[in-house]
Amino acid sequence: MAQYGYVRVSTREQNEDRQLVAMRDFGISERDIFLDKLSGKDFERPSYRRLLRKLKPGDTLVIKSIDRLGRDYGEILEQWRVITKEKQAAIVVLDIPLLDTRQKERDLTGTFIADLVLQILSYVAQTEREQIHQRQAEGIEAAKARGVRFGRPPMERPEMFHEVLAAWRRGDISAREAGRRLEVNYKTFQAWAR
């Protein structure tokens, strides 16, 4: 019966130290910690996949918080089922002591409470994700209404643009050559030409 830790941060820039310290404090050895630096929007993560292949009945998977497993309500519940039912492994969520399936003598009420807490927390995680997207979209719309422009400002056309455009329209030069002469990508030249 092995113990494994799973650590996930959403981007390469984020720091996983807090989760690693929690894993070590729990007693998980360095070689049994699986780390992904990828978004939690899906479960196509290499280390997570390796971890699932390694899990055997009676093993324990430790995660710092439920949102490290993922953010999608349905998928978190499905992965919980895969780990606890198909793999017959236990899960420990360090931030939420009620989410600890290691107790072999767990009664029906304890199992019900753990499942209920899991469903509530998974729902909250997904709802928060949706609210973040909604707030983001509303903020962008409000900024646009105030006249804020997003993205890079449009490039100014060089002085010799019309001369190069005329040569291209006559067929004297290609779009790639026109872009090279104007020191822009040929696609930018084509967009300007339209």
Q: Decide if 47 contacts 35 (C-beta within 8 A).
A: yes
176: enclosing H helix or E strand: helix 175-182
The three state secondary structure string of 60-107 is EEEECCHHHHCCCHHHHHHHHHHHHHHCCCEEEECCCCCCECCCCCCC
Interatomic CA distance for residues 44 and 33, integer angstroms: 18
Q: Residues with catalytic annotation?
A: 10
- In the chain, % helix, strand, coil (3-state, to 5) comes to 55, 10, 35
Contact criterion met (CB below 8 Å) for 182 and 189: yes
